[in-house]
Amino acid sequence: MNGEAAVKLIKPVKGKGTEDLAAEKQKIGWNYRNNAYFLLKIMLTVSGFLAAIIINVVFPQKADVVIKTYTLSAFGYNLDLTMNDAYIFIVSLLILIYGAAGVRAFVDRTRRKLYSKNAAFRFALGAALAIWDIGGTKLQLFAQPFFPGPAQVVEAYLIDSDYIVQNTIYSLRLYAAGFSCGVLLGVVTGILIGWFPKVYYWVFPVLKITGVVPAVAWMPFALTLLPNSFTAAVFLIVICAWFQIAFLTAQGIQSTPKQNYEAARILGSSQFDLIFHVAIPHAMPDIFTGITSANAMAFTTLVMSEMLGQPGGLGYYINQSKVWSAYYKVLAAIIIMAVLFSLINYIIGLIQKRTLRWQEGVIKK
């Protein structure tokens, strides 16, 4: 970008004649810089989703699925809609979002390249919805009731909206309580192990052996010894995050170069400074490696403990729906998990990027 700007500055200033413009147009060629080409890319992006809507409306339904009408009320308005209406509404929303992004990229040329690149995948996404619809609810080509159509999954949200929200909040509460305690305990233990040789001697071997045991293995103890199932599940998530994070934090503290300590001491550091302003900043990349890997394990532990002994949560919802063979509800819960967990990963990624700003551009050793 800067290079381009510099080149423009060096160029002698002169009015652009029609010849120049024509030459420039020829130079552009058949790629995303070309307006017609880019319009085609927008159409490609949207067409998959359009096909999904058309198929949902036009295709006759063979399956024995009753189309019920649900009434949604919000802000004093009542809205009657069937599962197909809701599905079409969601897909239309996607068309609107991607269409708007396309228009934006059309104006803002810096966004064009990425949008063009994503066009094929977004088309495939729409096409997959269409195929799923045909194979699922419409013609029942896939094994039923395991593969209900997308509209039926949407129906789960219509039927169980409050209940799903309730279970999602339950999962989030469990995760937040367990993971935050786990991170806190993990970092503190890791620092103690990394800093004090005595703590290392007594605690590290215990951590190393117990750390390899999957947290859910402790479930029988957790369920019987702790006062309620919520604390039991929190305990399991804490364990899985704790050991992993403590392990890596200790490693990060211990790998601090001696020279960093010597430099800090000569500059007037106290013991406190050596821990908090030298060892911990140095261990930060390792601490975040621990947090991200523990996070993935925490999701697993969360869902498993919900499936095995919780009065709520998305895992519980899946289990309950399975009993009634309501696989469309299972899929609905899985989609929420995918979105929710991705979001949590994204937020952790943002915090990591901000904290480890100093590492940007350095290849990690």
**Residue ranges that bind other proteins, judged by CB under 8 A:** 257, 259-260, 262-270, 273, 277-278, 281-282, 284, 357-362
Q: Which is nearer to other proteins, 77 or 272 (CB)?
A: 272
User: Which CB, 30 or 272, lies closer to other proteins?
Assistant: 272
Please identify, using beta-carbon distances, which residue of 257 and 349 lies nearer to other proteins.
257
Least distance (Å) between residue 267 CB and other proteins: 4
CB atoms within 10 A of CB 357: 8
* Rounded CA separation 123/251 (Å): 46
Contact between 174 and 234 under an 8 Å Cβ cutoff? The reply is yes
Find all residues with CB under 8 Å of 133, minimum gap 6, and list them: 52, 55, 56, 59, 149, 150, 151
Under 8 Å between Cβ of 222 and 232 = yes
Distance CA 202, CA 305 (A): 30
Report, in Å, the least distance between residue 354 CB and other proteins. 13
| Number of DSSP helices (H) and strands (E) in the chain, helices first | 14, 2
Q: Which is nearer to other proteins, 192 or 264 (CB)?
A: 264
Helix (H) / strand (E) element for 281: namely helix 280-309
CB closer to other proteins, 207 vs 278: 278
Least Å from the CB of residue 2 to other proteins: 16
E runs forming strands in the chain: 69-74, 77-82
Residues 6 or more apart in contact with residue 7 via CB below 8 angstroms: none
Bridge partner residues of 153 (DSSP): none
CB of 356 to other proteins, least distance (A): 8
Listing DSSP states for 206-218 in one string gives HHHHHHTS-GGGG
DSSP, res 78 = E
**Beta-bridge mates of residue 69:** 82
Cβ at position 243, least distance to other proteins in Å = 26
**Residue nearer to other proteins on the CB measure, 26 or 259:** 259
Q: Closer CB to other proteins, residue 158 or residue 279?
A: 279
CA distance 209 to 92: 53
Q: Toward other proteins, which CB reaches closer, 117 or 277?
A: 277
Q: Which two tokens stand for residue 160?
A: 């169980």
Minimum gap (Å) between residue 249 Cβ and other proteins = 15
